[in-house]
Structure 1
Amino acid sequence: MSGVPQTLDADAVRSWCAGALAALGRERADIDAINVYPVADGDTGTNLYLTVESAARAVDAVPAGGDVAEVIRAMAHGALLGARGNSGTILSQLVRGMAAVLADGGDGDHLARALAAASDAAHAAVAHPVEGTVLTVARAAADACDGGGHLAEVATRAYEGARAALDATPGQLAALRDAGVVDAGGRGLVTVLGALVETLTGQAPSRPEPPAHPPVLAPVAEGCAAGDGPAYEVIYLLDAGDSAVERLKARLDALGESLVVVGGDGLWNVHVHVDDAGAAVEAGVEAGRPHRIRITHFDTRPTPPTAPSPAAEGTEAAEATPLPAAEPAGRAIVAVVPGEGLAGLCAEAGATTLLARPGEPPADDALAEAIRRAHAHEVVLLPNDTELREAAARAAVRARAEGIRVALIPTRAAVQGIAALAVHEPDRDFEEDVVAMTAAAGATRYAELAVAERQSFTSAGVCQAGDILGLIEGDVAVIGHDLTDTARTVLDRMLSAGGELVTLVVGADTPAALAAGLEQHVRTAYLAVDTVVYQAGEGAPPLLIGVE
């Protein structure tokens, strides 16, 4: 047919992406209206539209003349970065699976294999695949064009197979049957495939008809999440390796449901429904570097403040003056700090501090007592030391048994705690505050300068007593003989990965010229990076460095 692409080349991919965005824009409201599974929150159409909008922006950024591999990979990468909701996250993986095959060829056989690869990738990304969802529709599309053929014919067979599977979804999921609708995510995928058919044939296929009557939704009790599932949807991008992501999947699977982890090559998009949003983000911090964190409460109505449990009666926490019932529960920050100067700094920011003296880390009892001393119903605990993680977790468990709501943010260094404190907003919802603080801490890379006490083997080689050790993220990265030179080398290594703000925390015995020299070095070599300096006082290492 004249004017119709014979292969899925770069121009055809651009046209498909733009067409899919336009089609989802037209059908977004209809898709939102039938969104009843896994959560009846009425946003599947919007999430799919925003996901494809991000893909379209990435495609538009590819210069004219780019080959099909460059354009289809841009589409997949853009979808990954902008994926929203359960269905949007799955759609991004479907596009990624297709891109891996279409980058090598755009004929009908490649398209058939691409759809099969997409279905396999999407099924693998979902922790517990369910029949009657977008996954079922994707599999049917792939099965319908098995064996390949002419490009337009393959696309048409895939669309027709998807349409048939979509129509059958109410018979596979009780929630759909009871509401009298088809799966919203599957409907969105049919729309995207319909845009592909229109690109390759020049004719738009008939679109699915909206339900004759509004879907019948189960009533939601006041103060509860929509339906009977978890209260929060948590989505974030994650920089992490494959093995760390596998561990993350296991932990998130235990925390909640609707778990989808898509991506690869060090960048992932994580989606999960949980009751403890802070724990879901904390798991991401342990796995790598989460960013672009989005938390959605499935019921936007305010939740009453958490009241102390009966177990708190007779404890110091229970003796604190209760807040009026109409007011939110009081909140406090408890931070472990390595120096008196930092203790004063954190106290000025409103935190209750616990001093960690050299060689004397606080024990469980001291941490639990600090939580009680904060006299608050809600407490955010910042251990600021990797070795305190287990003790902090035990202290948090004890405090929770006494009726105190405790969130443990796994800060591994004081500079991460400072970053978390900087974004703390006591009037914000507790979960949102914890997530913001966790994200700020996780986005802060940290380093420390220390003096070697004896000859030792390190990851950077053999050090001698008196050598200056530059530790980045807890591992010895630089062995030097001069404090200033070693500090500059460590700072340059950290900034080589980018950064906007450098935090320098200076110990009491550190020469005053060190911080000034490092500030000047940053101003000269990294024009867009700001620097802030804090005095840690007695008991702190010679220098702590944070890069955000």
Structure 2
Amino acid sequence: MTNSDGSSPGLSGAQVRRMIQGAAGWVALHREALNQINVFPVPDGDTGANLGRTLAAASESLDEIAEEAPAHEIAAAAASAALLGGRGSSGVIGAQWLRGFASGLAGDGDAGDASLARAFVAAADAARNAVSEPRDGTMISVAADTATAVRSAQGDPASQMRIAVNAAYESVEYTPEQNPVLKDAGVVDAGARGLEFMLRGMAGALAGEPIPDVPAELGAIDPGWLARRLDSGGDFDGFCTELVVAGVEDIEGLREILAGDDETVMLAPDGDDLRVHIHTVEPADTYAAADAAGRIRVFRAVDMRAQAARTHESQSDPAVVAVAQGSGFVRVFTELGAAAIVSGGAADNPSVEMLFSAAESVKGRDVIVLPNNHNVTPAAERAGELAAAADEPQRLHVIHNDSQAEGVAALTALIGGVPVDDVVSEMQEAMQSVRIGRVTLAARTLEGDTPIAEGQPFAMLDGEIVGAGSEIDEVGRSLAERMAESLSGASLFTLYFGADVSEERAEAMAEQIESQTGIEVDLVAGGQPHYPWLLALE
């Protein structure tokens, strides 16, 4: 069947909608199978989960798009949602592939066969451009091979999709020849196979075929290779770190800062947002660089060593997920052993999905969550409900606390080799042994025993307003004196200074507090917003 001009009938918006849903369904079906063959760049067992979550976000977003929307608008909406909801390198590349696919479909109304070929070419280009150092034997080469095949194909979109699937399968089977790591491990590339399954889902939806009930057998990593890799440890150093940053004007400048000697950095722009994925030993530095370049909307860092230990080894100690604001607190929490960091806190609460996803990523049967703000606690508890009902259930132990300084105290009590309930008790006791003081500016006029005008500095001790003044640093010094008087035998102040406080000013403040109270002050660049001074006294 052809159109009056001799071209093949085009894709409708409804067909593209079903194709996106089919892609999500196929990858979801094979989620665990893809996890089991995940080798490159790190065998952390999460490719299926990451790509599955990315496509689920894309598919679910279409519920908000009008039924009559044209093909390219459907694809663009899915791509944008995938970028924000995606996880891991496979998710970033998959989202960029969808973004390119959408741009190739752009046109009036429906998309014809020529634009489907353009879509595959644009998708391959977008996927490759997301990676600073593209590698063959990955999703990148499979995307390129399918684009080449579809570009020269004849027939209607359904025929072209069948050709794409066949080309993807052949390309995936060749990945071990392109990447020796895969050959040694005895598997094909998991992300590449995931892209093939995306295309199988799209082709099946276009042909009216249902998603299979049973996943295909994909094999497993050679256990000898895996044991050697785990023993060597090198692949697992650092954190898988992901961000969404708004308002970045110099994307290439940020890429240069982040990349250094790291070849795994990926940057994927979408309107005003920039998705960043990088493996780094210093997630705090990544946070600081992104914070300087734009506004961090999402930040997540997962310890790859801890993740692998719970994926492939018999590690049973609980993992800790900490909610953090400020590069300094990201650094402190990771150094103290948090397996995952999620951005959020004052005026920036993380979503239930972000907390659930972080817990899922660390793989532990038991996960301790430090909300570090009472407004985050409800989301953490809801994430715990989702985790308990998941296919691989987890128990989330939410510690009720209200500041990052309390979270630091809790993490200092983290111990291994004991039941999780004992760990939680130790962390709660550690928090009770410190007093927490904060200085901030009133967002509005406050009535009460201590009336406070909008914009006026005021102090809180353990969550209660205890004073106000005209000058921030003076309020901070008065707070420190009050704290010292309230806790006999106190031996150490930790003074966390905020994002807008210079190091010189902080050093002067520390010296003044030591002089006034006679108590040693440990100075830490917390980088937190909203609170110029955050004090912990133990």
The answer to whether the superposition gives a TM-score over 0.5 is yes
Rounded Cα–Cα distance in structure 2 between residues aligned with 1:100 and 1:425? 56
- 2:524 aligned partner, one-letter code: V
5 Å-filtered alignment, 1:176-255, equals 176-203=182-209, 210-212=217-219, 214-216=221-223, 217-219=225-227, 227-243=234-250, 245-254=251-260
1:277 positional shift: 1.2
Paired amino acid for 2:124: S
Superimposed CA distance per residue, residues 112-150 of structure 1 (whole angstroms, 9 cap, x where no aligned partner): 111111111111110111111110111111011124532
Contact 2:73–2:102 under 8 Å retained in 1:
no
Structure 1 residues 238 and 22: alpha-carbon distance in aligned structure 2, compared to 1, 3 A threshold? same
State the alpha-carbon separation in 1 of the partners of residues 262 and 268 from structure 2: 17
In the alignment, residue 248 of structure 1 is paired with which amino acid? L
Letter in 1 for 2:29: R
Instruction: Describe the shift of the 1:363–1:22 C-alpha distance in structure 2 as closer, same or farther (beyond 3 A).
Output: closer
| 1:55-100 alpha-carbon deviations (Å, 9 max, x no partner) | 0111111132223233221111110111101101110000001111
Give the paired residue count: 369
Asked if 1:131 corresponds to 2:275, the answer is no
Indicate the residue corresponding to 1:381 in structure 2.
525
70, 77, 82: which one pairs with 1:79? 82
Identify which of 108, 115, 122 aligns with 1:117. Answer: 122
Indicate if the aligned counterparts of 1:334 and 1:381 stay in contact, CA closer than 8 A.
Answer: no
Kindly indicate whether residue 148 of structure 2 is the aligned counterpart of residue 143 of structure 1. Answer: yes
- 2:496 and 2:525 in contact (8 A); partners too: no
Answering whether residue 294 of structure 2 is matched by residue 288 of structure 1, we say yes
The superposition leaves residues 158-197 of structure 1 with CA deviations (integer Å, 9 ceiling, x where unpaired) of: 2211111100000111211011100000000000111121
**Aligned partners of 1:47 and 1:87 also within 8 Å:** yes
- In the alignment, structure 1 residue 352 sits paired with structure 2 residue 352: no
How many angstroms does 1:210 deviate by? Answer: 3.3
Q: How do residues 270-281 of structure 1 correspond to structure 2 at under 5 angstroms?
A: 270-281=276-287
Q: Is the 8 A contact 1:261 1:270 kept in 2?
A: yes
Match of 2:165 among 149, 159, 162: 159
Summarize deviations over 1:95-114 as a string: whole Å, max 9, x none: 00111121325222111111
Change (3 A) 1:66 1:339: same
- Compared CA separation, residues 324 and 416, structure 1 to 2 (3 A): closer
**Within-5 A mapping of 1:415-434:** 415=530, 417=532
Give the superposition deviation at 1:229. 4.6
Counterpart contact for 2:237–2:305, Cα < 8 Å: no
Change (3 A) 1:68 1:326: closer
CA distance in 1, matches of 2:80, 2:288: 25
Aligned equivalent of 2:17:
14
User: Contact (CA 8 Å) 2:19, 2:202: kept in 1 or not?
Assistant: yes
RMSD: 4.3
Q: Is the 8 A contact 2:266 2:277 kept in 1?
A: yes
* SS of the residue 2:237 aligns to: coil
Going from structure 1 to structure 2, the CA distance change for 1:117 and 1:280 (only over 3 Å counts) comes to same
Superimposed CA distance per residue, residues 462-519 of structure 1 (whole angstroms, 9 cap, x where no aligned partner): xxxxxxxxxxxxxxxxxxxxxxxxxxxxxxxxxxxxxxxxxxxxxxxxxxxxxxxxxx
- Classify the secondary structure of the residue corresponding to 1:241: coil
Question: How far did residue 242 of structure 1 move?
Answer: 3.8
- Give the drift of 1:235: 0.7
SS in structure 2 at match of 1:237: strand
Q: 1:258 is matched by which residue type in structure 2?
A: T
Aligned: 1:57 with 2:29: no
Question: Could you tell me how far apart the structure 2 residues matched to 1:126 and 1:241 are?
Answer: 18
**What amino acid sits opposite 2:205 in the alignment?**
T
The answer for the alignment partner of 1:397 in structure 2 is none
Q: Which residue matches 2:504? A: 362
CA change 1:163–1:417 in 2 (3 A) is farther
**How does 1:383-532 map onto structure 2 within 5 Å?**
409=527, 415=530, 417=532
Q: Residues 258, 11 of structure 1: CA spacing in aligned structure 2 closer, same or farther, 3 A cutoff?
A: same
Segments of structure 1 that go 5 or more residues without pairing to the other structure are 308-322, 383-408, 427-548
Structure 1 residue 29 and structure 2 residue 32: aligned? yes
Moved more, 96-105 or 251-260: 251-260
Going from structure 1 to structure 2, the CA distance change for 1:28 and 1:325 (only over 3 Å counts) comes to closer
Distance 1:18 1:109 in 2: 23
| Cα distance, 1:47 vs structure 2 | 0.7
Counterpart of 2:474 (choices 336, 340, 343) is 340
Distance, in Å, in 2 between the alignment partners of 1:222 and 1:345 is 49
Identity %: 28
1:284 Cα deviation after fit: 1.0
Aligned with 1:108 (options 98, 109, 113): 113
AA aligned opposite 1:230: D
TM-score of the two chains, using structure 1 as the length reference? 0.58
CA deviation map 1:375-404 (0-9, x unaligned): 66xx6314xxxxxxxxxxxxxxxxxxxxxx
What amino acid sits opposite 1:252 in the alignment? L
SS at structure 2 position matched to 1:261: strand
- Secondary structure at 1:57 match in 2: helix
Is contact 2:495-2:521 (8 Å) kept?
Answer: no
Q: Distance in 2 between matches of 1:370 and 1:232?
A: 38
Instruction: Give how far 1:292 is off.
Output: 2.3
Contact 2:142 2:172 in 1 (8 A): yes
Shift of residue 257, structure 1, vs aligned partner: 4.0
| Secondary structure of 1:29 counterpart | helix
Gaps of 5+ in 2: 2-7, 310-316, 320-333, 338-411, 417-425, 440-470, 484-491
CA distance in 1: counterparts of 2:477 and 2:506, whole angstroms: 19
Deviation at 1:201, TM superposition (A): 2.6
Task: Measure the CA separation in 2 of the matches of 1:221 and 1:112.
Answer: 41
Counterpart-to-counterpart distance in 2, 1:234 and 1:208: 30
Q: Secondary structure at the match of 2:95?
A: helix
Contact persistence 1:31–1:188 (CA under 8 A): yes
Deviations 1:250-305 (A, max 9, x none): 11102744111112321111111111111111111011111222211112267997
Asked whether the 8 Å contact 1:257–1:274 carries over to 2, the reply is: no
For 1:235 and 1:19, locate their aligned partners in 2 and report how far apart those are by CA, in whole Å: 26
CA contact (8 A) 1:24 1:49 kept: yes
Say if 1:18 and 1:365 are closer, same or farther in 2 by CA, change over 3 A. Answer: closer
Equivalents in 1 of 2:40, 2:169: separation in Å? Answer: 18
For 1:254, give the aligned amino acid: G
Once the 2 structures are TM-superposed, how far is the Cα of residue 230 of structure 1 from its aligned partner? Answer: 3.2
Task: Measure the CA separation in 2 of the matches of 1:169 and 1:210.
Answer: 18
What TM-score does the superposition give when structure 2 sets the normalisation length? 0.59
Distance 1:69 1:8 in 2: 9
User: Which has more radius of gyration?
Assistant: 1
**Match of residue 171 from structure 1:** 177
Contact 2:51 2:194 (8 Å CA) reproduced: yes
Q: Deviations over 1:308-366 (max 9, x none)?
A: xxxxxxxxxxxxxxx999699999999999531144458869652789xx9x9837975
How far residue 26 of structure 1 moved from its aligned partner, in angstroms, is 1.2
